[in-house]
Structure 1
Amino acid sequence: MERELKLRVAKEDLGTLRHAPMLAQSGRKVGTPHLLMSTYFDTPELSFHWCGASLRVRTVGKQKMQTLKLEGSAKAGLFDRDEFEMPVNSDTPDLKLLCDQIPDDSDCGKLVRDETVAARLKPVFVTRINRSAFPLHQPSGDELELALDEGTVEAESGSVQIAAVELELKQGNPEALYRIALEMLETVALRLDHRSKADIGYALLVAEHSEAVKAQPLLLDKRDSIEDAFCAIARNCLDQVHANERGVVSGHDPSSVHQMRVGLRRLRSALDLFAKVIPASSGFDEELRWIASELGAARDWEVLAGATLERASTNGNANEIQPVRQACEQIAVNNRQRAAAAVESVRYTRLALQFALWLDRKGWRDDMSDEQRAAISGPVKPFAAEVLRRRHKKLIKRGKGLADLDDHRRHRARIAAKKVRYATEFFASLCPKRAVRNYVDALTALQDDLGWRNDAVVADQLLKSLLTTSPEAASGASFARGFLASRVAADHQTLKKLWKRFKLLSSPH
């Protein structure tokens, strides 16, 4: 199993890092970097790539090493995946050497055993990397290797320059990777690297779309402690956040922006939910709120340009609405670029590394008393039941007379509903399935109605701003505002019925 933390750095900052105090302490003198030349192989139809693997032969001096890496996970720049490495006697891969390593019933296992695949392998791209590597021996006993890389990824279609830092865990706890990265961040600007060298090479060959990733189902055990449950929930939220970073950075997919924002909201809700027993630094909430707001501006304009204006568009006014949609789409594109820049920023890199370190080492325990540590070691089920009751009660209180509330109070009720939904999803596996299903069905219907009403309120403010910033869209914006106001008014009875249905239910526990 390979565990690497990958970070990007400006080419001019590599020299600064080579003379950083931590590397001077490694005991290795700064010398001439050594050249690593790796040739990646695949079939003409890129069979290894499509089954989530990369196959290379690397030349280091006179030695040749064959490496197969399987698809794993990449979270906050930390790549966690299976790696199979062995010496070979030629410049081309020997797939037979992998047969004892890869299960024969896996997609990759079938490939390495297929003689026709071996006969059709060809070089697809090459990496030429000048690497300076330093062993790092930590007082904690953790053993790492820090590599400073500068070079190129080259294919027939073009090439890409690389300047990067790779931290590989040789022995010990992954938290050491985050500690070293944060220490380096005090010296030079680093950014999370969402792609391996193989990813960069294949991107020169095929244009791939990073799919938006929704939250995965969460399974807790009734025997879990409160602390165990918190760790599982926080990691589930972070998985969703990190899985969508690459899509956000690409700047092309509004769905990735939405799903990363949902992951951040879920994470903030989880921190709030456990705050009385597992307090987090106030700085985390402030920084999570910041990155969420950077993504939120793009999402608001996307929704307006899409579903909201679609409701206002009729056969009779399509020409009038079109300038509004074009103006909104352009603002959305600009805001997606801003969101991408935020996820690429040093500020976000620091947040991701600090939070990963805090979660990995259970940093909340540092300032706890023995009694507090004992409390979070208690069973999660009673805690979950109490949380669900309390959140449900708060929603019932805030939603009193829901259909007749003003925008501000209805927004507060919507936020309470969202927190109930997240809490229910977090603890669903601890509750009776039927009770959860009935509750979530009623809550989802209520949330959908409150959600589009909130979209209409936000849309009204955004459309109002177009009156001055985009005069050509003023007429259509005014029409859309009036249309949406009429739709909200017409929804009064529907909202009353949805709220009445939900009030009859009790929280599942």
Structure 2
Amino acid sequence: MAETKREIERKYEATDETRLPDLTRAPGVSAVQDRGVDELDAVYYDTADLRLAAGSLTLRRRTGGGDAGWHLKLPVAPGVRDEIRAPLDDTLPESLAGLLRSRTLGGEVAPVVRLLSSRAVRHLLDDAGTLLAEVSVDTVLAERLGEDGGATASWKEIEVELADGADPGLLDAVEKRLRKAGVRPSTAPSKLARALAETTPAPPAADPATRPPALGEDTAGGRVLAYVREQVEAIVRYDPAVRRELPDAVHKMRVATRRLRSAFKTYGKVLDRTVTDPIGEELKWLAGELGVARDQEVLAAHLADRVDAVPDTLLLGPVRARLRVWDAAVGADARRTALAALDSDRHLALLRTLHALVADPPLRKAAHRDAPKVLTKAVGKDYDRLAGRVDRALSLPPGHERDLALHGARKAAKRTRYAAEAATPALGKPVKRFARRIKSVQSLLGDHQDSVVARETLRTLAIQAHAAGEPAFVWGLLYGREEALGAALEDRFPEVWKRTSATKTRAAVGF
């Protein structure tokens, strides 16, 4: 059974002459307790092309110390990682293998580095004897394994790891004492990174004649590919987060799929759509599978808020209980759907295709042109498409057809916003402001669509309540409120749209 520990630590360079200063002079530290020396033996695993290391992940099997076992470390923020631990089996536990799937692409991991560490441990305690942090001085011997094996490296370093629940400000206080003693932060983000850097054989010099022509940063292709790589990396990064049920992970992964699919459509003059359209269809499938869970999450929160707003005197029947039962049933199915998609061969094939696309992008002639002209024209084309959908929606009377048209306009607004955000590094502040205005349109239309979906669900819940002999009054009340909200949003929409379609806005952007 895997367990997770949030690891907040800092690393420092050390030599044989380095001595720890008196850390009781750091505010809050009352005592330093010597905990002896641990002998640690860790073998680190990766793919042949070191994809885990490239993503700042580390996977090791370690013996010695108080936490022997398999450890997978996933980056959270600078100096912060989640360490997921599993028992000390001979083979990689399935609980960790699944979290690595988006990086390994179904391939095997093998030993790449062995680290032998002699760790002198000290505990920093407060005046009540509570652990604040662990300070360790590590003497490390690294040995490269595998085909490139044989090279070794050695060094000493200091680690300061914050205890669970301790004030992060303590790390600043300890660092101040260390710096005064001449100790400086490590330039390596991890032991593995340092070991790889110091034991990697020098690569053979590349023949300039065989190198493909590089895209300049200011070319259309350079800008679009930077955006594409960012979204592909987001899909890969949020895969294990979705599996771990981290907050907002499904939403962020789904957004990345949509941004990428939109970029393929918007920038078809840069990337060949005969190649990217089939990938876009697979991204649409993945977003749809993830969307079941995300849409349920949003809708459940929306309805819970609406129920909470009903006065107790009007809350007739087991309304909250029925809402919880509905959410639990639909939510469990949605979760299974998302995980099944991530575990499928289809998703694995998509990840491999995205990896290949980034490595060898299907560039068209426009990719080599200056970015501003190509990107401006593409954003303008998406905006015109949005304007056409808005005009059609506003020409329809209120009702089902207009709801569908407004939903279509929302999708077009999202694509236009994504196009503008991708172009912002090349086009600057005017397009950034334009993207914010389009986002306001998208947000309002999103609220409207949420209201439409909520009404459909409220009608279903009312039918179920009536069939069970429960009062359906509250569900009808909430339906009426959602209907009024939808009408109010439709009344506001023309003014919000007017701010984005003003002549001065288009002139500032350049289309």
For normalisation by structure 2, the TM-score amounts to 0.57
Q: Distance in 1 between matches of 2:114 and 2:241?
A: 34
Counting only pairs closer than 5 Å after superposition, residues 17-416 of structure 1 correspond to structure 2 as 38-39=62-63, 41=65, 51-52=80-81, 76-78=102-104, 85=113, 88=116, 95-97=138-140, 223-250=217-244, 252-253=245-246, 255-279=248-272, 280-311=275-306, 313-316=309-312, 317-318=314-315, 320=317, 321-330=319-328, 331-362=330-361, 364=362, 372=364, 374-400=365-391, 405=396, 406-416=402-412
SS for the counterpart of 1:96 is: strand
Q: Deviations over 1:217-251 (max 9, x none)?
A: xxxx984322222321111112222222112223x
- 2:491 corresponds in structure 1 to 493
Report whether the alignment pairs 1:417 with 2:413.
yes
Once the two structures are TM-superposed, the CA of residue 268 in structure 1 deviates from its matched residue by 0.6
Q: CA, structure 1 residues 468+290, in 2 after alignment: closer, same or farther (shift >3 Å)?
A: farther
Residues 351 and 172 of structure 1, relative CA distance in 2, 3 Å threshold: farther
| Whole-Å separation in 2 of the counterparts to 1:282 and 1:263 | 16
SS in 1 for 2:299: helix
Equivalent of 2:477 in 471, 479, 487: 479
Secondary structure in structure 2 of the residue aligned to 1:38: strand
Contact 1:299 1:332 in 2 (8 A): no
Contact 2:119 2:139 in 1 (8 A): no
Task: Decide which structure has the larger Cα Rg and report it.
Answer: 2
Specify the code of the residue in structure 2 equivalent to 1:337: R
Take 1:42 and 1:502, find their aligned partners in 2: how far apart are those partners? Answer: 60
What's 1:455 paired with? 450
- 1:76 Cα offset (Å): 2.5
In structure 2, relative to structure 1, the CA distance for the partners of 1:401 and 1:309 (3 Å cut) is farther
RMSD: 4.5
- DSSP-derived class of the 1:275 partner: coil
User: Residues 318 and 436 of structure 1: is their aligned pair in 2 closer, same or farther, counting only changes over 3 Å?
Assistant: farther
> CA offset at residue 422 of structure 1?
0.3
Corresponding position of 1:177: none
Give the Cα separation in 2 of the matches to 1:447 and 1:489. 17
User: Are 2:382 and 2:416, in contact at CA under 8 Å, matched by a contact in 1?
Assistant: yes
Shift of 1:417: 0.7
Assess, with a 3 A threshold, how the Cα gap between structure 1 residues 455 and 390 changes in structure 2: closer, same or farther: same
C-alpha displacement of 1:326: 1.1
Change in 2 beyond 3 A, CA 1:258/1:413: same
Deviation at 1:40, TM superposition (A): 6.0
Tell me the residue number matched to 1:66.
none
Q: How far did 1:350 drift? A: 1.5
Contact 1:395 1:420 in 2 (8 A): yes
Distance 1:91 1:223 in 2: 45
User: 1:440 and 2:435 equivalent?
Assistant: yes
Separation (CA, whole Å) in 2 of partners of 1:102 and 1:420? 53
Alignment gaps of 5+ in structure 2: 1-43, 53-59, 86-98, 106-110, 121-135, 142-152, 163-170, 179-199, 205-214, 397-401
* Aligned-partner Cα distance in 2 for 1:396–1:429: 24
* Identity between Structure 1 and Structure 2 (%): 23
8 A contact 2:118–2:140 mirrored in 1: no
In 1: Cα distance, 2:161 partner to 2:371 partner: 39
What displacement does 1:332 show?
1.9
Post-superposition Cα deviations, 1:245-277, rounded to whole Å, max 9, x if no partner, equal 112223x34621111111111111011112244
Aligned counterpart, 1:178: none
1:222·1:430 contact (CA, 8 Å) conserved in 2? no
Structure 1 letter corresponding to 2:63: T
* Contact 1:249–1:344 (8 Å) recurs in 2: no
For the 8 Å contact 2:341–2:347, the answer to whether it is kept is: yes
